[in-house]
C-alpha cells in the first residue's frame, strides 16, 4: 500500500513527484507516455517559464524529468485503466488498475492533463494524419514550402502559425471571431509576419481531400458566405479537453469535464487530489501546473496526518 499514487507526468505530475520525494512520502508515479513533459513536449518554444527563456517544450520536458530522476523519481510506463475508491469505516483506499498491474494507495493525485479538442467536422477524422494535424511542431516539417491553414485564435494557434510561417509558403489563420484570444506578444508577432494571413469571423465547415488534404471549406459568420481555401495541411488548435475520464464517475466536475478544485487541489472526494490542466482554474500554463503539483502534495500531507 502506497501513501500516494501520482497519475500523469506533465509539469504538474513532475512537480508533485519532486515535492513528494522531498517530503519522503511513499509514492508510486505512473504515466503511459514515453515522451517526457506532457503537452509541452509538443510546444516548439516555451518563453514564459521563469528562469528558462526560449526553451523548446521537448527540452523543458527532459529537464523536468531529469530533475525528478535526480531525486529518485521516475514514472512507471503503464496505462492507467481505472481509479476506484474503497472505504471500510475510516479506512479509505484507492485502487489504481493499469494494463499490467493493480496498485493501492491512501491518496491519489490525478494530474492527467488535457488533450487537444476536435472540431467534429466532415473530413477531420478521415484525413487525420493525411494533412490534418493537431501538432505543428510534430508535423510542420512535412509541409515545407507548402500552404497550410491553422484553425483557432488562442496561444497554440498563434504559436503554430508562427512556427509554420518559418517553413511554409503561406499560412492562413482561420478564427471564428474578430479578435484573437492569444497573449498580446503573440498577437503582435502574428500581425508582423508577412506570410500569415488572418481570416476573421470564419468557421471551418469541412476538410476536403481524397487521400490527402486539398482544401478547407469555410463560412464567414457575418456574411454567411461560403468559400473553399486550397491548402495542403490543416492544423487544428481549438483548445483542449480535460483528461478526467478516469475520475469523472468519482468526483465533481464542471460542465466541460474539468475536476472542481482550488489551488490546494482538494476535490469533493477525500483522498483524491487534482493538479494541473485537469482541474478548474483560470490559467493553464506550465508555471501554474508546477505550482499545483507542489500545493497538492502539501494537501496530501495534511490529509495523511488527519487520517492517523
- How many chain residues bind ligand NAP (CB under 6 A)? 22
For the record, the C-alpha cell of 14 comes out as: 513532475
- Any alpha helices (H) in the chain, and if so which ranges? 11-22, 57-70, 136-139, 155-165, 184-192, 286-307
Smallest distance, Å, CB 180 to ligand NAP?
A: 7
Query: In 3D, which of 83, 106, 112 has the Cα closest to residue 11?
Result: 112
The burial class, CB within 10 Å (0-12 / 13-18 / 19+), for 23 is middle
3-state helix/strand/coil string of 169-198: CEEEEECCCCCCCCCHHHHHHHHHCCCEEE
Residue showing cell 475520475: 247
Cell for 89?
469505516
Is residue 10 a contact point for ligand NAP (CB under 6 A)? Answer: no
Q: Which region, judged by CB under 6 A, interacts with ligand NAP, from 12-20, 128-136, 238-246, 255-263?
A: 238-246
Which candidate, 253, 300, 308, 271, places its Cα nearest to that of 87? 271
Residue nearest to ligand NAP (CB): 154
- Binder among 25, 238, 247, 289 for ligand NAP (CB under 6 A): 238
172 interacts with ligand NAP by CB under 6 A: no
Q: Is 42 in the site for ligand NAP (CB under 6 A)?
A: no
- What's the closest the beta carbon of residue 285 comes to ligand NAP, in angstroms? 5
* Shortest distance (Å) from residue 119 CB to ligand NAP: 5
Site for ligand NAP in 137-156 (CB under 6 A): 151-156
Q: Is 299 in the site for ligand NAP (CB under 6 A)?
A: no
User: In the complex, which residues of this chain contact ligand NAP (CB under 6 A)?
Assistant: 46, 48, 119, 151-157, 159, 176-177, 181, 203, 237-240, 283-285
Amino acid at each position: 500500500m502506497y501513501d500516494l499514487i501520482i497519475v500523469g507526468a506533465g509539469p504538474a505530475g513532475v512537480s508533485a513527484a519532486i515535492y513528494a520525494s522531498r517530503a519522503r512520502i511513499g509514492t508510486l508515479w505512473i504515466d503511459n507516455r514515453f515522451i517526457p513533459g506532457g503537452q509541452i513536449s509538443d510546444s516548439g518554444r516555451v518563453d514564459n517559464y521563469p528562469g528558462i527563456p526560449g526553451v523548446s517544450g521537448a527540452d523543458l520536458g527532459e529537464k523536468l524529468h531529469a530533475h525528478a530522476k535526480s531525486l529518485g523519481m521516475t514514472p512507471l510506463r503503464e496505462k492507467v485503466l481505472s481509479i476506484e475508491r474503497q472505504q471500510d469505516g475510516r479506512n479509505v483506499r484507492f485502487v489504481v488498475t493499469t494494463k499490467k498491474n493493480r496498485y493501492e494507495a491512501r491518496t491519489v493525485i490525478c494530474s492527467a492533463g488535457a488533450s487537444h479538442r476536435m472540431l467534429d467536422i466532415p473530413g477531420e477524422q478521415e484525413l487525420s494524419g493525411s494533412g490534418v494535424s493537431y501538432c505543428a511542431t510534430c508535423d510542420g516539417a512535412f509541409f515545407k514550402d507548402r500552404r497550410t491553414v491553422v484553425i483557432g485564435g488562442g496561444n497554440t494557434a498563434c504559436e503554430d502559425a508562427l512556427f509554420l510561417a518559418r517553413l511554409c509558403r503561406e499560412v492562413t489563420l482561420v478564427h471564428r471571431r474578430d479578435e484573437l484570444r492569444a497573449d498580446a506578444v503573440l498577437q503582435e508577432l502574428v500581425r508582423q509576419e508577412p506570410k500569415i494571413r488572418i481570416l476573421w469571423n470564419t468557421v471551418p465547415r469541412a476538410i476536403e481531400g481524397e487521400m490527402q488534404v486539398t482544401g478547407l471549406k469555410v463560412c464567414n459568420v457575418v456574411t454567411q458566405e461560403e468559400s473553399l481555401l486550397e491548402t495542403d495541411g490543416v492544423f487544428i488548435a481549438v483548445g483542449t479537453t480535460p483528461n478526467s475520464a478516469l475520475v469523472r464517475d468519482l468526483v465533481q466536475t464542471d460542465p466541460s469535464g474539468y475536476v472542481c478544485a482550488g489551488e490546494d487541489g482538494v476535490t469533493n472526494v477525500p483522498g483524491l487530489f487534482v493538479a494541473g490542466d485537469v482541474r478548474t482554474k483560470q490559467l493553464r500554463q506550465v508555471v501554474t501546473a508546477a505550482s499545483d503539483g507542489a500545493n497538492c502534495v502539501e494537501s496530501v500531507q495534511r490529509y495523511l496526518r488527519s487520517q492517523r
